[in-house]
Copies of this chain bind each other. A is one copy, B any other.
Amino acid sequence: MHKKIMHIFVIQFRLMKNSQLYKGSLNTIIMKLLEEQGRMYGYEITQKVKEITKGELNITEGALYPALHKLEAEGLLDVEVEKVDNRLRKYYKLTEKGTTETVNRLAELEEFIKNMQTIVNPKLSY
């Protein structure tokens, strides 16, 4: 019983960490990971992000899957369905267009980070 309650708290704690700041960065994260890893499936992406951020960022399925579908619809991703251990996996990879676009988005992200650091810490920015 105690164990169950504690587990609920742990889940709560993790979700609370997802502040509004991450809003808008999911697409860039997905594309960067695909650029780096070649190809990945949805669930794998959630685990990878959790690992990289030491559990601080948990991408929810309700955000991830629609995002992947949209990127595919925009021609930025290609998908290949595979059956592993009798379970479906949808592997995504960048198209040529997606690779080009990834460069742009990463540049935007760098600018964003730079601007935010300038705002937060004006002393350090010169």
Contacts and interface: CB of A to CB of B under 8 A. Distances in A.
Interface residues of A, number: 32
Q: Is the interface of A mostly helix, strand, loop or mixed?
A: helix
A25 interface: yes
A113 B113 contact: yes
A102 to B, nearest CB: 11
Given A22-B24, A24-B19, A24-B24, A120 B108 contact: no
Interface string A35-60: 01000000000000100110011000
Interface of A: 19-25, 27-29, 32-33, 36, 49, 52-53, 56-57, 106, 108-113, 115-120, 122
16 contacts: A19-B108, A20-B23, A20-B25, A21-B112, A22-B24, A22-B112, A23-B24, A25-B116, A49-B119, A52-B115, A52-B118, A52-B119, A53-B115, A56-B115, A109-B120, A113-B113
